[in-house]
Structure formats: C-alpha cells, structure tokens
Amino acid sequence: MRASVVRVVWGAVLVAFPGTVLRRCPHTPRTRAASGVVRLLGARQLAQGLVTNRLGVPATWQGVPDALHAASMAGLALRSDRWRTAALADSAVAALFAASALRGRDRRDGRTGAGR
C-alpha cells in the first residue's frame, strides 16, 4: 500500500477520533486543547498525503516534513513529562513516514538499499 494512502487514512483517523487516539497514550491529558492538537495534526497528514500524491512531489522531499516533525516531537518528549507518551508516539509515526519516503526513493531509483 502506498504511504500516501496510509497517511490519508491516518490523518482521517486523527481528525475523526482524537479522543480514541489520546486514550491510547497513557498519562496524556485528554483535554479539549489536546483533542484540537490531534485534529490539527490529522489535518496536516491529510493535506500532506493529498498534496504530495496529487503534485507528484519527489519521495525525498515528502519525508522532510516528517523528519522535522519527528525531531520536534522527540524534543517535546524530552522536555515535558505531561506530553511525553503522546509526543513519543507521534515522533515514531513521523519517523516511519520519513523512512517510508526514503525507502520509496530507493525503489524508484532502482536501488535496493543492500550493501550500504
């Protein structure tokens, strides 16, 4: 399955069910503000998935926002006990999307990733 499809589905889940997502993150406050942030992040995922797929953005560039987001969430996890669990989970998802973009680049370029 293409990463853009997974991204759009994930974004839709975040927008539609922020409370369910937050319940999966122990020790994370389930406030109205937290739900709003989850919805906002879901909207970003939806937009990124639709735009990059529609415009044919090169795979390497698709991973840049995800790598930056993963780094920012890792920083938040280091600084905030309150948001650590949610930030680590979000950082992991963003890192997987970034890695998927790089993997997609390797496939399109004919490289397998072996021997590196």
What are 52-69's pLDDT values in tens digits? 877 777 777 888 999 999
Q: Compute how many other C-beta atoms are within 10 angstroms of the C-beta atom of residue 75.
A: 12
- How far, CA to CA in Å, does 41 sit from each of 13, 33, 103, 114? 11, 12, 23, 34
Predicted structure pTM score: 0.79
Cα(35)–Cα(14) distance, rounded to whole angstroms? 9
Which residues touch 62 (CB under 8 Å, ≥6 apart)? 3, 48, 52, 101, 104
Instruction: Give residue 62's pLDDT.
Output: 81
Stretch 19-29: mean pLDDT, rounded?
89
Cα(107)–Cα(116) distance, rounded to whole angstroms? 14
Beta strands in the chain (DSSP E): none
Tokens coding 86 = 């949610």
